[in-house]
Amino acid sequence: MIHILFAAAEALWVDYEAVLRDALDAHGLTYMLDTDLPPEVVDYIIYAPNSPLQDFTPYTRLKAVLNLWAGVEAVVGNETLKVPLARMVDDEGLTAGMVQWVTGHVLRHHLGMDAQIVNPDHVWQPKVPPLTTERPVTILGMGALGQACAAALVGLGFPVRGWSRSPRDVPGVTCLHGKPGLIDALRGAEVVVLLLPDTPATQNVLDAKRLGLLSPGAFVINPGRGALIEDQALLAALDSGQVAHATLDVFRVEPLPADHAFWAHPRVTVTPHIAADTRPASAAKVVAENIHRSETGQPLLHLVDRAAGY
């Protein structure tokens, strides 16, 4: 009997229970799944970092923690967590949601749609946008989500540069890495999409100096993590016109405080952390696959590198 503890926000249990059971049953596993199990019998924890469970010490039989989020910055440094930690990567729903959100906002800015949607003075402005082949896009972060977004944008004809901290080879994408590669990736970019994890090495990756490398009037799109951008530097770049518009889905403090400058700035779009979310039905399959792999002696998928922070 495999004992599986669901340790996430209480409201999520209603959404996850049935789909998790279906996914576990599909692998022929014999299990007990609940939100309340004696710590000493628990084999696996299905986890969200905002769970009340923060001390893993009592879970003496624990084999792995299976995170429901792609982001692990809130748990990766937990010193009581000694077992393998896997994050949510190949959730087809999460990936599809991110690709659709990113593609939609890149096209929105590329086509200049805001000027037509909000035109209270009824000004006739026959400004024809360039073709996608004339609009270079840079994606910072070429993990699973970055690669999926890059593939969609390449398919639309955008020239895409992708930057990561380690080498990548993605069809149709000019892949760059390391500190020198970051400069080359940003220089002359007209759209920048941030999809990096939040680690000490990535915080403020888009600061005043690097914002200055972009093509004047560039667009910044951040569905990654709030700490990737230096807020005051971005506001200054918006005020100067170096950045024409920023569409931001993630912030250093969430919910974004009502008095934050981003709310009032005319060239900032705030979306409430909705770019991509874990979908229970598809996430359950990823979790069940990992439990099955562990129980059959196979390596876990999407293991977190504690040193790298993701």
- pLDDT tens string 175-184: 999 999 999 9
For domain 2-91+278-295, the CATH architecture is 3-Layer(aba) Sandwich (3.40)
Count of other CB atoms within 10 angstroms of residue 292:
17
pLDDT bin (cut points 50, 70, 90) of residue 248 is: very high
- pLDDT tens string 250-266: 999 999 999 999 999 99
Q: Which pLDDT value is given to residue 192?
A: 98
Is residue 219 scored above 90 in pLDDT? yes
Element (H, E) at 93: helix 92-111
Report the pLDDT averaged over residues 124-128.
90
Q: Which pLDDT value is given to residue 99?
A: 98
- pLDDT tens string 286-305: 999 999 999 999 999 999 99
Is residue 20 scored above 80 in pLDDT? yes
Alpha carbon 139 to its chain centroid, in Å, reads: 12
Phi, psi of 262 (to 5 degrees): -60, -35
| Exposure letters 134-149 (e unless 16+ CB within 10 A, then b) | ebbbbbbbbebbbbbb
Q: How much is the pTM? A: 0.89
Q: Which pLDDT value is given to residue 278?
A: 87
Phi, psi of 284 (to 5 degrees): -60, -35
CATH fold match for the domains 2-91+278-295 and 92-270: yes
Q: What residue ranges do the domains of the chain occupy?
A: 2-91+278-295, 92-270
Q: Which pLDDT value is given to residue 231?
A: 98
Place of tokens 């005319």: 266
Is residue 153 scored above 80 in pLDDT? yes
Report the pLDDT averaged over residues 231-246.
98
Separation in Å, CA 287 to CA 2, 12, 90, 299: 14, 15, 10, 13
Is residue 307 scored above 90 in pLDDT? no
Name the token pair of 65. Answer: 């923690």
- Residue percentage of the chain with pLDDT more than 70: 100
pLDDT bin (cut points 50, 70, 90) of residue 91 is: confident
pLDDT bin (cut points 50, 70, 90) of residue 90 is: confident
Is residue 55 scored above 90 in pLDDT? yes
pLDDT bin (cut points 50, 70, 90) of residue 106 is: very high
Q: Which pLDDT value is given to residue 125?
A: 86
For residues 288 and 284, give the distance between their C-alpha atoms in angstroms, rounded to a whole number: 6
For domain 92-270, the CATH architecture is 3-Layer(aba) Sandwich (3.40)
Is residue 72 scored above 80 in pLDDT? yes
Which residues are designated catalytic?
A: 225, 273
Report the pLDDT averaged over residues 46-60.
97
pLDDT bin (cut points 50, 70, 90) of residue 274 is: very high
Q: Which pLDDT value is given to residue 308?
A: 86
DSSP 41-82: G--EEEE-TTSS----TT-TT--EEEESSS--TTTTT-TT--
